[in-house]
A and B are shown apart, each in its own frame.
Chain A
Amino acid sequence: QKEVEQNSGPLSVPEGAIASLNCTYSDRGSQSFFWYRQYSGKSPELIMFIYSNGDKEDGRFTAQLNKASQYVSLLIRDSQPSDSATYLCAVLFNDYKLSFGAGTTVTVRA
């Protein structure tokens, strides 16, 4: 099983702050990276994907990828209570197999 490691949580941030989530992966050949959000008892929901080195922004979310260092991160700007969830980093292997990290639970304090 290819390894995907996420920074340990839980992560608690005040409303309006930036939440920063990190993820490292073991397979240097990986090309596709995803962030899913999972509310308690619900299904994972795709929020970002990134394939190229650098930053990718979508609304309040920014994904950052550094293939040389084998890490991918997610920034959530202007955090809202509705952002409170578990965030799953996922890396695609063999063109079809997603390997997930254990997740980082984020709590946004009002």
Chain B
Amino acid sequence: NAGVMQNPRHLVRRRGQEARLRCSPMKGHSHVYWYRQLPEEGLKFMVYLQKENIIDESGMPKERFSAEFPKEGPSILRIQQVVRGDSAAYFCASSRDRGGNSPLHFGNGTRLTVT
């Protein structure tokens, strides 16, 4: 009964490179959320996706960041031309449905370091 799976756990990129973060939701969950946690800060909402659809990307920077959740395969958060300020922990969460009766379950996160 696997939980939310994220990989890689740690990712090091040089400035200007691309970072691709992967998330497989819990079995039976079709709603995926990405959050970013900067050092000493709380979790900030980035994007909410439901199979093949982006529902809300209001928390995601408009440039360099994109997210997808294809019909087959994991959700991908892609950061192009990374900068030092992108260094953070990126957490994926999933839920069975929308709403308070379907709490979010988080993966172990990907810690991105930009050098």
B91 touches A43 (CB 8 A): yes
Q: Identify whether the interface residues of B are mostly helix, strand, loop, or mixed.
A: strand
A96 touches B31 (CB 8 A): yes
Q: From B61-69, B71-79, B99-107, give the one contacting chain A.
A: B99-107
* B12 at the binding interface (Cβ < 8 Å): no
Interface size on B, residues (CB 8 A): 23
Residues of chain A with a CB closer than 8 A to B48's CB:
96-97
A97 touches B45 (CB 8 A): yes
Q: Which one, B93, B98, B103, B108, contacts A49 given CB within 8 A?
A: B103
Alpha-carbon distance between A100 and B109 when the two chains are bound, in angstroms: 16
Residues of chain A with a CB closer than 8 A to B104's CB:
34, 46, 98
Residues of chain A with a CB closer than 8 A to B31's CB:
96
A51 touches B41 (CB 8 A): no
* A18 at the binding interface (Cβ < 8 Å): no
* B28 at the binding interface (Cβ < 8 Å): no
* Interface residue ranges of B27-70 to A (CB < 8 Å): 31, 33, 35, 41-45, 48, 55-56
Residues of chain A with a CB closer than 8 A to B33's CB:
96, 98
Residues of chain A with a CB closer than 8 A to B103's CB:
34, 46, 49
Size bracket of the A interface: 20 to 34
Closest-by-CB residue of A relative to B40 is A102
A96 touches B108 (CB 8 A): no
Alpha-carbon distance between A102 and B93 when the two chains are bound, in angstroms: 18
Alpha-carbon distance between A96 and B30 when the two chains are bound, in angstroms: 13
Alpha-carbon distance between A97 and B98 when the two chains are bound, in angstroms: 9
A-B contact pairs, 10 of them (CB 8 A): A1-B44, A43-B107, A43-B109, A44-B43, A44-B106, A46-B103, A49-B100, A95-B99, A96-B31, A96-B98
Q: Which residues of B contact A (CB under 8 A)?
A: 31, 33, 35, 41-45, 48, 55-56, 91, 93, 98-100, 103-109
Q: Which residues of A contact B (CB under 8 A)?
A: 1, 31-32, 34, 36, 42-46, 49, 51, 88, 90, 92, 94-103
